[in-house]
Structure 1
Amino acid sequence: MRHDHVTDETTAALHPNWKVNDHLIAILARNARDYPNGIAMRERDRGIWHELTWPDYLDVVLALAAGFEEEGIGHGDVVLVVGDNRPQLYFAMLALVCLRAVPSPAYPDAQPSEILAQMQRENICAAVAEDQEQVDKIENVRGQWDGLRAIYYDDPRGLTAAAPEGAQPIEALIKRGRTRLAGDPALRDDLLARPNVHDPAVLLHSSGTTGAPKGIPLKHGHVLAGVRYAAAAGYFRTGEQHMAYLPMAWVGDFAFSIAAALELRFTVNIPENQETALHDLREIAPTLYFASPRAWSGMLTRIQVGIAETTGLKRRLYDHFMSFAIRLEEAKMEGKSPSLLQKLWYRLGDLVIYGPIRDQLGLRKVERPYTAGEAIGEDVFLYFRALGLNLRQFYGQTENCALAVAQSAEDISLTTVGRPFPGIELKIDDTGEILIRGDNVFDGYFQNEKATAETLRDGWLCTGDAGEFADDGQLVVLGRLSEVVHKADGTRFIPTYLENRLKFSPNIRDVCIIGAGREFLSAIVCIDFSAVGQWAQERGVPYTSYAELSQRPEVQTLIAGEIAHLNNAVPESLFIRRMVNLHKEFDPDDGEVTRTRKLRRNVIDEHYKAIIDAVYAGERSLDYEARITYETGQTGTLTRHLEITDLPEREG
Structure 2
Amino acid sequence: MSKNDHLLEYSIPQLLRWRVNSTPKRPALREKDFGIWNTYTWEDYYDYVRKTALGLKNIGLGKGETIAIISDNIPELLFTAIGAHAIGAVSAGIYQTSMPREIAQIIQYLKVTVVFCDNQEQVDKVLDIRDQIPNVKKVIFEDPRGMREYMSDDWFVDIKDIYKLGEKIHAKDPDIFEILVDQGKPDDACHLCLTSGTTGLPKGTIMTHRNYINMGVKITDVDPLEPTDEYVSFLPFAWIGEQMNSFGVAMATGITINFPESVETAMSDLKEIGPHFMFGAPRIYETIRSEIWLKIDQSYWLNKLFYNYFISAGLKAAHYRMTGKPMPLGLKLKSWLGKQMVFRPLINQIGLLRLKRAYTGGAALGPELFTFYQAIGVNLKQIYGQTEITGIAYMHRDGDVRPETVGKPLPGTECKIADNGEILSRSASVSPGYYDLPKKSEELLEGGWLHSGDAGFIDEHGHLVVIDRLSDVMHNNKGEMFSPMFLENALKFSPYIKEAVIYGNNEDFVACLINIDPVVVGKWAEDKGISFTTYMDLSGRPEVAELIMEQVKDVNCRAEKEHFKIKRFALLYKLLDVDDGELTKTGKIRRQFVQERYQNLYDALYDESIDKKEVEASFQYQDGQSAKVKTSILFYTVKGF
In which range does the TM-score fall when normalised by the shorter chain?
over 0.9
User: Aligned residue for 2:81?
Assistant: 93
Distance in 2 separating the partners of 1:35 and 1:500: 44
User: Aligned residue for 1:587?
Assistant: 577
Distance in 2 separating the partners of 1:164 and 1:109: 28
Amino acid paired to 2:437: N
User: Aligned residue for 2:481?
Assistant: 492
Distance in 2 separating the partners of 1:19 and 1:34: 13
User: Aligned residue for 1:605?
Assistant: 595
Equivalent residue runs for 1:290-439 within 5 Å: 290-332=279-321, 337-439=326-428
* TM-superposition CA deviations, 1:101-140 (whole Å, max 9, x none): 1111011111111111101111111100111111111111
Query: 1:404·1:421 contact (CA, 8 Å) conserved in 2?
Result: yes
Amino acid paired to 2:361: A
Query: 2:415·2:424 contact (CA, 8 Å) conserved in 1?
Result: yes
- Offset at 1:350? 2.7
Moved more, 513-522 or 524-533: 513-522
Amino acid paired to 2:579: D
User: Aligned residue for 1:12?
Assistant: none
Distance in 2 separating the partners of 1:545 and 1:93: 42
Amino acid paired to 1:643: L
Match of 1:33 among 4, 15, 21: 21
* TM-superposition CA deviations, 1:248-272 (whole Å, max 9, x none): 0111111112221112101001111
Distance in 2 separating the partners of 1:342 and 1:632: 56
Match of 2:117 among 125, 129, 135: 129
Amino acid paired to 1:281: L
In the alignment, does 2:538 pair up with 1:561? Answer: no
Query: 2:49·2:83 contact (CA, 8 Å) conserved in 1?
Result: yes
Distance in 2 separating the partners of 1:330 and 1:73: 54
Q: 3-state DSSP class of the match of 1:89?
A: helix
Query: 1:231·1:237 contact (CA, 8 Å) conserved in 2?
Result: no
In the alignment, does 2:70 pair up with 1:82? Answer: yes
User: Aligned residue for 1:645?
Assistant: 636
Distance in 1 separating the partners of 2:321 and 2:57: 58
User: Aligned residue for 1:596?
Assistant: 586
- Offset at 1:292? 2.2
Distance in 1 separating the partners of 2:388 and 2:471: 17
Query: 1:577·1:649 contact (CA, 8 Å) conserved in 2?
Result: no
Moved more, 167-176 or 373-382: 373-382
Match of 2:185 among 178, 196, 203: 196
- Offset at 1:467? 0.7
Q: CA RMSD in A?
A: 1.9
Moved more, 494-503 or 79-88: 494-503
Amino acid paired to 2:499: D
* TM-superposition CA deviations, 1:194-248 (whole Å, max 9, x none): 3211211210011111122111011011111122221222265544311111110
User: Aligned residue for 2:607?
Assistant: 617
Amino acid paired to 2:478: D
Query: 1:18·1:221 contact (CA, 8 Å) conserved in 2?
Result: no
* TM-superposition CA deviations, 1:515-555 (whole Å, max 9, x none): 22333221011111112112222222221111111111111
User: Aligned residue for 1:626?
Assistant: 617
User: Aligned residue for 2:56?
Assistant: 68
In the alignment, does 2:148 pair up with 1:175? Answer: no
Distance in 2 separating the partners of 1:485 and 1:415: 19
1:127 and 1:601, CA in 2 relative to 1: closer, same or farther beyond 3 A?
A: same
Distance in 2 separating the partners of 1:225 and 1:336: 32
User: Aligned residue for 1:4?
Assistant: none
1:116 and 1:598, CA in 2 relative to 1: closer, same or farther beyond 3 A?
A: same
Q: 3-state DSSP class of the match of 2:265?
A: helix
User: Aligned residue for 1:46?
Assistant: 34
Query: 2:567·2:638 contact (CA, 8 Å) conserved in 1?
Result: yes
- Offset at 1:623? 1.1
Distance in 2 separating the partners of 1:555 and 1:80: 45
Equivalent residue runs for 1:19-30 within 5 Å: 22-30=10-18
Distance in 2 separating the partners of 1:632 and 1:383: 40
Query: 2:144·2:158 contact (CA, 8 Å) conserved in 1?
Result: yes
- Offset at 1:484? 2.3
Q: 3-state DSSP class of the match of 2:175?
A: helix
User: Aligned residue for 2:455?
Assistant: 466
Distance in 2 separating the partners of 1:557 and 1:185: 72
Distance in 1 separating the partners of 2:401 and 2:7: 36
1:318 and 1:218, CA in 2 relative to 1: closer, same or farther beyond 3 A?
A: same
In the alignment, does 2:627 pair up with 1:636? Answer: yes
Distance in 1 separating the partners of 2:387 and 2:597: 29
1:530 and 1:235, CA in 2 relative to 1: closer, same or farther beyond 3 A?
A: farther
- Offset at 1:427? 1.1
Amino acid paired to 1:201: C
Distance in 2 separating the partners of 1:236 and 1:143: 47
User: Aligned residue for 1:8?
Assistant: none
Q: 3-state DSSP class of the match of 1:563?
A: helix
Moved more, 169-178 or 331-340: 331-340
Q: Structure 1 vs Structure 2: percent identity of aligned residues?
A: 34
1:601 and 1:163, CA in 2 relative to 1: closer, same or farther beyond 3 A?
A: farther
Distance in 2 separating the partners of 1:239 and 1:620: 59
- Offset at 1:335? 6.8
- Offset at 1:649? 4.8
1:287 and 1:460, CA in 2 relative to 1: closer, same or farther beyond 3 A?
A: same
In the alignment, does 2:270 pair up with 1:249? Answer: no
Distance in 2 separating the partners of 1:631 and 1:232: 44
Distance in 1 separating the partners of 2:622 and 2:589: 24
1:579 and 1:72, CA in 2 relative to 1: closer, same or farther beyond 3 A?
A: same
Amino acid paired to 1:571: K
In the alignment, does 2:227 pair up with 1:233? Answer: no
- Offset at 1:153? 0.8
Query: 1:239·1:264 contact (CA, 8 Å) conserved in 2?
Result: no
Distance in 2 separating the partners of 1:601 and 1:346: 41
Moved more, 630-639 or 217-226: 630-639
User: Aligned residue for 2:126?
Assistant: 138
* TM-superposition CA deviations, 1:380-433 (whole Å, max 9, x none): 222221222222111111111012111100101121111111111011121111
Q: 3-state DSSP class of the match of 1:472?
A: coil
- Offset at 1:579? 0.8
- Offset at 1:87? 0.5
Distance in 2 separating the partners of 1:53 and 1:47: 19
Query: 1:377·1:505 contact (CA, 8 Å) conserved in 2?
Result: no
Amino acid paired to 2:577: D
1:374 and 1:630, CA in 2 relative to 1: closer, same or farther beyond 3 A?
A: closer
In the alignment, does 2:44 pair up with 1:56? Answer: yes
In the alignment, does 2:467 pair up with 1:454? Answer: no
1:48 and 1:562, CA in 2 relative to 1: closer, same or farther beyond 3 A?
A: same
Moved more, 290-299 or 579-588: 290-299
Distance in 1 separating the partners of 2:640 and 2:424: 37
Distance in 2 separating the partners of 1:564 and 1:350: 32
**Equivalenced residues, count:** 634
Gap runs ≥5 in structure 2 = none
